[in-house]
Amino acid sequence: MLNHNSKQNRRKRLGATMVEFAVVTPILFTLLLAVFEFGWQVVIRHTADNAAYEAARKAIVPGGTAADAIEEANRVMGIVGARSFTVNVTPTVITEATRDIEVTVSGQYADNGIVAARFFNGLGFESRSKLLTERPRRD
């Protein structure tokens, strides 16, 4: 008789464990995907920051052009596989008289998501870097 109750209790516990697993698993996986998605958006944001800075560095040297800056920003953003972003360089024509250069990298998080990108609809990123040009002083 004691043995029969033990088996019955074990079955009840196994059933309770299965129900708990069925309830908790979707929540756990949803949280895990959210962590991955938010982490990826942080990577995209920091890569955009770095791309703007590296692009500005390419353009501030003597002989640097806006096209060089755009190419560098595209290269850096391409490292992480970012999609659908815009690079703007101000001024568009860089001359010897240009004092500073500003590069802006912008885009939408939803266009650069992994799994649950629709949660980022309407949210964008914009990274700017403004550097003084490296020109010889004329006294």
The answer to the question of residue 139 being in a domain is no
Give the pLDDT confidence score for residue 26 in this predicted structure: 94
The answer to the question of residue 138 being in a domain is no
The answer to the question of residue 29 being in a domain is yes
Q: pLDDT per residue over 45-77, tens digit each?
A: 999 999 999 999 999 999 899 999 999 999 999
The tally of domains found in the chain comes to 1
- 3-class secondary structure, 107: strand
Structure-token pair, residue 13: 């516990």
Task: Kindly give the interhelix angle for 66-79 and 2-60, rounded to the nearest 10 degrees.
Answer: 170
The answer to the question of residue 94 being in a domain is yes
Q: Which domain holds residue 22?
A: 2-132
The answer to the question of residue 20 being in a domain is yes
Averaged confidence pLDDT in the chain? 87
Q: Per-residue confidence at 135, pLDDT binned at 50, 70, 90?
A: confident
Contact between 104 and 127 under an 8 Å Cβ cutoff? The reply is yes
Tell me which residue has tokens 């299965």. Answer: 18
